[in-house]
Chains A and B, each alone.
Chain A
Amino acid sequence: MVLIYLGSLAILLLNAFWDKDAFSGRVIPFDWTLEAFQTLFTVEVYRTIAIRTVSIAVLVTLTDILLAFPIAYYMARVASPGKRRLLVVAVLMPLWASYLVKIYAWRTILQGNGLLDSVLAPLGIAGPGLNEVAGSWLVLSYLWLPYMILPIYAGLERIPNSLLEASSDLGARAGSTFRRVVLPLVLPAVVAGSIFTFSLSLGDYITPDLISDSKFIGNVIYDNSALGNFPLAAAYSLLPIAIIVVYLLIARRFGAFASL
């Protein structure tokens, strides 16, 4: 019985991919796959969008590592147990708050005459408004930050104190203990967190849609499927799938799956 359920689950997943191809075949009975791919490869805007999406996803991941590390380190190694529990809840909370609501909240902050503009006005600077790609970078970094904090925190917490003491007993200074003991041990956790920040940024289309004018891969997929151009949407969606599968395989090499 279990196998039947599992089988249907697998078929459901496979089906999702099969039918898409069969469907695109049906939309254009002649020349069925190559046309969409040709468009993707020849029209420059698709390449620009792909490069933009991947760069922002990488940038978001790096930003989140930079922001997450200090607070995760503080939670795992400096804060008292009571404070630590409180901090874990404090980091978890925004994770449970609605994704759309958080994007919307940033929309209110970033828009013309919003909070950011009124804070920056005395300095004579205008905020990015709602059409700069920097806005997407900021909001995506915000959205996925807890996904980075929690694995890094868990990874740091697993490092036994004795290792650090041994390192300093052997004459290593704090800096080199950090670099040579803590960093290698916490790397799988960082990679685990980056799976979330990277793949969630890569596939997002609501944030770029609501925060800036700059389209992402997801927007192209969504817009084309809304317009009924399924072959193009399907072909383009193979790109993030491929990137993420490669990313997951690399992540597995780092032992990141055990830190998930």
Chain B
Amino acid sequence: MIESSFVRTALRIVSGGVLLFLYLPLVVLAIYAFNPSRTLAWPPTGITMDWWVQAVNNPRIIEAFWTSMLAGLGATTVALVLGTLAALAVQRYDFFGKETISFIVILPIALPGVVTGIALSSTFRTVAFDFGLMTVIIGHATFCVVIAYNNVIARLRRLPRSPEEASTDLGADTFTTFRRITLPAMRTALLAGALLAFALSFDEVIVTNFTAGPGTETIPLWILGAIQRPNELPVVNVVALALILLSVVPVYFAQRISEEAGGVAR
């Protein structure tokens, strides 16, 4: 260690400050979720569970929740299938335009969501595709594919080819080899990819805003709308805190997966 004790102490203090910065807004939100006052003035005036009761009894929120679940599941499924196939193709075969694909596939993540959103919405409009849950799923799938692809290709790069070759030598056809050798080896990568893809989709607001029809409302879209309506703010606080608490679940599982796989599940 070359760091002097002064440097180490300074680093510790600054790191503490950065962590505080990262968590302060979340803590403030948690406090507001139990605040009986209708306004967001600081300090809160007391403790109440009323807004939680209102939130679970709000049919719009419940419906938005299920829409978000469906969109997330749909986008994740599409992403896993396409992402895995693309990763297999890029990793296993040489073909024209291979280099380009690895660049193209990062674009939906690097390009602003607003660009993806407008590109998709004008495509849907041009081909007269009805805006609704389906368009949301397609929109989300564009960036979820990247997540699945990245996870799978990272795993494939580390996998030895010999078990597959052995399987082929023993007379298994391509599909059997894939099902019994390659797929089990990719399992944790697929799980991690699915978790991340689902979480991203559940949370997405920019592309959703462009691709959702008037009758389709996900949780983030509901929040976006409700923020503009002052009398709904207390319920927004509750939903926001619930979302934060829900986000602990994927982090926990992702951590478990990465420990199990002995690698980074990112």
Contacts and interface: CB of A to CB of B under 8 A. Distances in A.
A92 B2 CA distance: 28
Q: Interface SS of chain B: helix, strand, loop or mixed?
A: helix
B56 interface: no
Interface string A236-247: 010011001000
B159 interface: no
Contacts, number: 220
Interface string A13-26: 10111011011000
Interface of A: 1-3, 5-6, 9-10, 12-13, 15-17, 19-20, 22-23, 67-68, 70-71, 73-75, 77-78, 87, 89-94, 96-102, 104-109, 111, 113-115, 117-118, 142, 145-146, 149-150, 154, 164-165, 167-168, 174, 177, 195, 199-200, 202-206, 210, 218, 221-222, 225, 230, 233-234, 237, 240-241, 244, 248
Most-contacted residue by chain A among B12, B110, B203 (CB, 10 A): B110
A168 B1 CA distance: 10
Contacts of A98: 202-203, 220, 240, 243-244, 247
B22 A146 contact: yes
A109 B122 CA distance: 37
Contacts of B247: 93, 96-98
Interface string B215-259: 000001001100100000000110010011001101100110000
Most-contacted residue by chain B among A94, A114, A202 (CB, 10 A): A94
Interface stretch (B38-46, B47-55, B160-168, B184-192): B38-46
Contacts of A97: 26, 243-244, 247
B121 interface: yes
B248 A93 contact: yes
A30 to B, nearest CB: 19
B26 A94 contact: yes
Contact of B89 (A2, A108, A145, A195): A2
Contacts of B244: 97-98, 101
Given A5-B81, A10-B104, A96-B248, 18 more contacts: A6-B89, A13-B142, A17-B119, A19-B123, A71-B14, A77-B1, A94-B23, A96-B247, A98-B202, A98-B240, A100-B203, A102-B25, A109-B24, A118-B42, A206-B206, A218-B112, A230-B118, A240-B111
Given A115-B28, A204-B112, A221-B114, A23 B122 contact: yes
A71 B16 CA distance: 8
B15 A74 contact: yes
Interface of B: 1-4, 7-8, 10-12, 14-15, 18-19, 21-26, 28-29, 32, 39-43, 81-82, 85-86, 88-89, 93, 95, 101, 104, 106-108, 110-116, 118-123, 125-127, 142, 145, 199, 202-203, 205-206, 209-210, 220, 223-224, 227, 236-237, 240, 243-244, 247-248, 250-251, 254-255, 264, 266
